[in-house]
């Protein structure tokens, strides 16, 4: 199974047993996360911006307003770091000190590349739309030339990455195992709920089948 190169930058140092470097697990976490957080330094100041993302093979796709500080930074080829997080459960231990969460996370590093042509931008925006809701691109209005001009799109080849995963029950000290305190895991998951119609929409427009499938798959 292919793995990312292991360096001092992407090596998991705290709880190294939770680290994973194989691309399959890294990509699974990236694809399941709905948003990522992009960290960068500009004029000596650190910034972290939450944003939508999509993955295409071994690259991350990002988009935003042409005037966005983040997009200008990425498109100029500056270094950035991205973080993706999924919470799977609350870990309730017998002692307060040993409480935790079960999670899957990824941190990656790379340089951005600007997507310049309208055709390339359109292809990336289609990938974004289909990632959020498969089937939506063909149903909704396509971007206009003015909207494409107002949008910046960047491709970020993944240079280094690592995953960090915690699973399982609490890790209480042996001296605490006899305490009369409930201990275990409260599982958490993200799910789709019943859709809410836009109040400005005509009542005779039915719910698309692709939205029904999306909800059923995520109940």
Map out the domains of the chain with their CATH numbers.
Answer: 16-188 (2.30.110.10)
213 half-sphere exposure, CB direction, 13 A CA radius: 7
Per-residue pLDDT of the chain (219 residues; tens, 9 = 90+): 699 999 999 999 999 999 999 999 999 999 999 999 999 998 899 999 999 999 999 999 999 998 999 999 998 888 999 999 999 999 999 999 999 999 999 999 999 989 989 999 999 999 999 999 999 999 999 999 999 999 999 999 999 999 999 999 999 999 999 999 999 999 999 999 999 999 999 989 999 999 999 999 998
206 half-sphere exposure, CB direction, 13 A CA radius: 4
What's the pLDDT at 3? 94
């Amino acid at each position: 199974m292919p793995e990312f190169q292991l360096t001092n930058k992407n090596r998991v140092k705290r709880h190294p047993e939770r680290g994973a470097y194989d691309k399959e697990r890294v990509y699974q976490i990236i694809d399941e996360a709905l948003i990522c957080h992009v960290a960068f330094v500009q004029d000596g100041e650190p910034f972290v911006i939450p944003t939508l993302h999509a993955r295409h093979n071994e690259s991350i796709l990002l988009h935003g307003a042409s005037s966005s500080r983040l997009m200008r930074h990425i498109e100029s080829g500056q270094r950035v770091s991205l973080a993706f997080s999924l919470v799977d459960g609350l870990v309730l231990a017998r002692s307060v000190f040993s409480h935790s969460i079960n999670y899957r996370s990824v941190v990656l590093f790379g340089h951005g590349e600007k997507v310049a042509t309208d055709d390339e931008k359109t292809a990336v925006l289609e990938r974004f739309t289909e990632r959020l809701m498969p089937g939506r691109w063909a149903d909704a209005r396509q971007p206009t030339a003015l909207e494409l001009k107002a949008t910046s799109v960047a491709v970020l080849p993944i240079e280094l990455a690592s995953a960090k995963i915690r699973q399982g029950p609490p890790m209480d000290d042996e001296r605490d195992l006899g305490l009369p305190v409930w201990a275990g895991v409260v599982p958490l998951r993200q799910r789709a709920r019943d859709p809410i119609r836009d109040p400005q929409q005509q009542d005779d427009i039915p719910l698309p089948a692709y939205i029904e499938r999306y909800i059923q798959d995520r109940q």
